[in-house]
Amino acid sequence: MKAQQLGERSRVGGWRGSPNSIAALLAHQVLYPHQDRGGRRRRLSGDGFGRGERRYLGRLERRGLLPLELLALPCWRRLTEFPTAQRSPMRLALLQAWDKRDKAPLHWSRTQAKALALVPAGPGGAYGYMADR
């Protein structure tokens, strides 16, 4: 069988391999700064802080990886009232501390206290229930 029938390049002048090989692809690569990124190049405004965290938390939520016990906590639920720039980094910190709450309970309690410090205490106190009941 001839090389042209297999879809390979001519082997005159040394072996060049298959056109589908990584070496052949690297020879014709376009470096990232020179790539065409399409016509839609949006610039984010200065209030873009927290958007990466929000997208990451959204991916975890869609995949079902956020623990329901964490989502039920008052410190998680009360962060809803805040803008993304404050809410999302705090929720990501809560998620990371939740993962280590058994090994580092002091870190978990500090992170939870930071989240509760952001939230003004409502009629039921900071934890959402009446202290005298």
Q: Does the residue 98 lie in any domain?
A: yes
What is the rounded CA–CA span in Å between residue 41 and residue 108? 40
Residue 11 in tokens: 């082997």
The count of structural domains within the chain is 1
Range of the domain at 113: 67-118
Q: Which residues in the chain land under pLDDT 50?
A: 44-46, 126, 128-133
Q: Does the residue 23 lie in any domain?
A: no
Q: Does the residue 104 lie in any domain?
A: yes
CA angle 104, 105, 109 (to 5 degrees): 125
Q: Which of 76, 112, 114 is nearest to 97 (CA)?
A: 112
Q: Does the residue 53 lie in any domain?
A: no
Q: Does the residue 84 lie in any domain?
A: yes
Residue whose token pair is 């589908």? 20
User: pTM of the full predicted structure?
Assistant: 0.57
Q: Does the residue 20 lie in any domain?
A: no
Q: State the pLDDT at residue 46.
A: 46
